């Protein structure tokens, strides 16, 4: 190393055993002129390294954060990977760079971080747009993304049943809750219940606790199903409703939404991919 014969030094260190190799590798990285090696790779090899230097390099240019994230994805040990990606996202967010932070959260399957950015992006669109905002459509898009990322995370853990994706953070809870209210207001009570089930029962929204709403919804669904069975029996009463539809009454959709946006107004829940009563 003193004679600047780095290649020879590394070969000799490899022959000398693990201790010499670790020391030689650390010396090589610490003296390297390129910070991508001297700073970022050093953090990968030694997680006790201060993250401040890594963050400083990641924010040094519009492209540097990509190099840092790529190295994390490729070389970072699994037990440190999620933490480092989350910390990198937080640093990028300090500069207001939402899309870059979102990439970091998506790579680490951080549902809470990704959901917050998706919700903030929706809020910014609502505040800055001159056209009428379709609140229900925005909520549905947010819910779809949360469910997709949740399914990917479940599959990565080796789970095969992704039918019931749990809401893991307040933003996801609020999105599922608002989706349930929108569906209920349009009579799709069974679909509404599907979005209440992933929410913790003690989550409180515009119409009360999610657990209480779910109980009321399931009771109403059971009543409608009983009416359906009675209608199909000989002598069943005429004029009974034939679907598990209904609502919790007046739902405040025209005021402020869960994230500060306008309500959907005259929205009709239809179109490609939108859940309707009885659909899967």
DSSP string, 114-151: HHHHHHHHHHHHHHH-SSPP-HHHHHHHHHHHHHHHHH
What pLDDT is recorded for position 162?
Answer: 66
How far apart CA 175 and CA 280 sit, in angstroms, is 19
Place 48 in a pLDDT band, splitting at 50, 70 and 90: low
Point out the domain boundary residue: 195, 211, 232: 232
Q: Quick one: DSSP state of residue 130? A: S
What phi and psi, each to the nearest 5 degrees, are found at residue 78? -60, -35
Same domain, 111 and 162: no
| Total residues found in the chain within this entry | 280
120 plus 171 within the same structural domain: no
Rounded to two decimals, what is the model's pTM?
Answer: 0.66
For residues 176 and 196, the answer to whether their CB atoms sit within 8 Å is yes
The pLDDT score that the predictor gives to residue 102 is 93
Residues 12, 116 within the same domain: yes
Angle at 275 between CA 175 and CA 273, to 5 degrees: 100
pLDDT in tens, 30-46: 777 676 666 777 777 76
Among 276, 278, 1, 4, which residue's Cα sits nearest to residue 140?
Answer: 276
**Domain end position, chosen among 128, 160, 193:** 128
93-131 pLDDT, tens digit each:
888 889 999 999 998 888 999 999 998 888 887 776 655
pLDDT at residue 180 in the model: 92
Sign of CA dihedral 195, 198, 201, 204: negative
Q: How far apart are CA 190 and CA 53, in angstroms?
A: 52
- As a whole number, the mean pLDDT across the chain is 76
Q: 126-159 pLDDT, tens per residue?
A: 776 655 667 888 888 999 999 888 888 888 888 8
Residues 161-199 pLDDT 10s = 766 667 778 889 999 999 999 998 888 888 889 899 889
Q: How many domains does the chain have?
A: 2
Which domain range does residue 198 map to? Answer: 136-232
């Amino acid at each position: 190393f003193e004679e600047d014969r780095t290649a020879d030094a590394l070969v000799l260190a490899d022959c000398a055993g693990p201790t010499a190799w670790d020391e030689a590798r650390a010396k090589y990285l610490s003296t390297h002129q390129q910070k991508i090696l001297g700073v970022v790779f050093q953090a990968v090899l030694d997680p006790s390294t201060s993250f401040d230097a890594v963050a400083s390099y990641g924010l040094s240019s519009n492209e540097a954060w990509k190099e840092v994230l790529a190295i994390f994805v490729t070389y970072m040990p699994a037990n440190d990977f999620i933490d480092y990606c989350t910390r990198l996202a937080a640093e990028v967010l300090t500069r207001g760079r939402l899309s870059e932070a979102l990439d970091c959260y998506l790579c680490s399957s951080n549902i809470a971080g990704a959901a917050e950015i998706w919700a903030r992006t929706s809020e910014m669109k609502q505040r800055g747009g001159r056209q009428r905002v379709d609140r229900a459509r925005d909520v549905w898009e947010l819910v779809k993304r949360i469910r997709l990322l949740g399914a990917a995370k479940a599959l990565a853990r080796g789970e095969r049943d992704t039918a019931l994706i749990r809401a893991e953070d307040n933003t996801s809870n609020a999105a599922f809750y608002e989706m349930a209210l929108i569906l209920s207001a349009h009579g799709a009570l069974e679909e509404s219940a599907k979005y209440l089930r992933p929410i913790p029962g003690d989550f409180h929204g515009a119409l009360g606790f999610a657990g209480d709403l779910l109980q009321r919804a399931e009771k109403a669904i059971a009543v409608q199903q009983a009416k359906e069975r009675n209608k199909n029996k000989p002598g069943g009463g005429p004029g009974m409703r034939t679907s598990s539809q209904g609502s919790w009454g007046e739902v405040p959709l025209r005021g402020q939404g869960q994230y500060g946006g306008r309500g959907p107004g005259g929205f009709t829940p239809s179109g490609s991919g939108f859940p309707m009563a009885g659909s899967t």
